[in-house]
Structure 1
């Protein structure tokens, strides 16, 4: 089913798995997700492990619209809530995060 154009926004933030210990990213991600569960405008988020770039992880969040994302990003809770993943940010990747507006979507079924 083809959908109409939406205002939804997806944000991808790139991280690297630490080479000097166990992969703690899933545990940290789950804690952050619990903290964000009732954030206005946040529709979903996912933890994605790259199949083409081993050791690379992306956190993808989907927002109702750009205003909802910017309200959260510029709000007082943003930096504190996501601080646990910050040490894993992929500093070699430029940019370290990307914003995408959903132009169209298709849902199979």
Structure 2
């Protein structure tokens, strides 16, 4: 079962560029060489510029746990961790997922808005 790992972190404004540079160095190494890693994202809060979110998706939780336990992992993430004042890690198993087959366009959005405004037929 696929897993989603969520890190809620705080990065002071004066460390933002160091944090992003450290993330940039790590992300390509992980994406290209860590078994079971599927994707990741780094996100900054729209309302609190010091609040960040890193999510990663893994083929199985065991893949992430093996990576997290590896000495290589600790060495790679050390520069990122040095930029954080707070960090919280959460682990989730992905039970269901919905994907959009075609990204909605403005035209599709307008049609949906009209249908919603009109109500059920």
Q: Which has the higher contact order (CA 8 A, sep 6+)?
A: 1
Instruction: Return the TM-score normalized by structure 2.
Output: 0.72
- 1:67 maps to which of 57, 62, 72: 62
Residues 17, 23 of structure 1: 8 Å contact kept: no
Alignment partner of 1:20: what SS? helix
Which of 27, 31, 51 is matched with 2:21 structurally?
27
Larger radius of gyration: 2
Q: Secondary structure at the match of 1:88?
A: coil
Among candidates 81, 84, 89, match of residue 76 of structure 2: 81
Displacement after TM superposition at 1:23 (Å)? 3.1
Number of corresponding residues: 100
Name the CA distance, whole Å, in 1 between partners of 2:15 and 2:33. 32
| Corresponding residue of 2:112 | none
Q: Which has the higher helix share?
A: 2
* CA displacement 1:42-61 (0-9 Å, x = unmatched): 00111111224432011111
Q: TM-score, normalised by structure 1?
A: 0.79
- Compute the RMSD of aligned alpha carbons: 1.8
The ranges of structure 1 where at least 4 consecutive aligned residues each deviate by more than 6 angstroms after the TM superposition are none
Give unmatched runs, 5+ long, in structure 2: 102-121
Instruction: Summarize the alignment of residues 5-16 of structure 1 with structure 2, pairs less than 5 Å apart.
Output: 7-16=1-10
Q: Match of 2:34? A: 39
